[in-house]
């Protein structure tokens, strides 16, 4: 009788192994595989699809990277400004007179 740890099966699922892969890895029959996945900690667990790694290659020389420029337009308005009368602020005494 072979011994397989629950953590090993969970690790296999995390690493992208399917149930069929696990069956082959541990040389199990279909009935044994079904019994393994009847365990409460394995019941309903699915293979986590491993994302394919991406190897990003920087093919640009730092001198080739263009710095964005921003154009600024300044507009002046040359209309006369109306003069405003000087108003002194009201005081409390002014309000009750």
* In-domain check, residue 89: no
| pLDDT of res. 9 | 95
**Average pLDDT of span 13-41:** 94
Write the DSSP string, 39-50.
STTTTT--PPPP
* In-domain check, residue 17: yes
* In-domain check, residue 22: yes
* In-domain check, residue 85: no
3-state helix, strand, coil in the chain (%, to 5): 30, 0, 70
* In-domain check, residue 14: yes
Q: List pLDDT tens digits, range 57-84.
A: 888 776 666 667 777 777 776 766 666 5
Query: Per-residue pLDDT for 48 more than 60?
Result: yes
Q: Global pTM?
A: 0.51
* In-domain check, residue 93: no
């Amino acid at each position: 009788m072979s011994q397989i740890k629950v953590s090993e099966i969970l690790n296999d699922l995390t690493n992208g192994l399917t149930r069929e892969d696990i069956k082959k890895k541990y040389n199990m029959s279909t009935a044994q595989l079904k019994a393994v996945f009847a365990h409460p900690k394995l019941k309903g667990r699915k293979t986590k699809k491993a994302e394919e790694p991406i190897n990003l290659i920087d093919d640009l020389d730092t001198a080739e990277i263009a710095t964005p420029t921003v154009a600024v337009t300044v507009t002046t308005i040359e209309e006369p400004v109306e003069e405003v009368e000087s108003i002194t602020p009201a005081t409390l005494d002014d309000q009750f007179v």
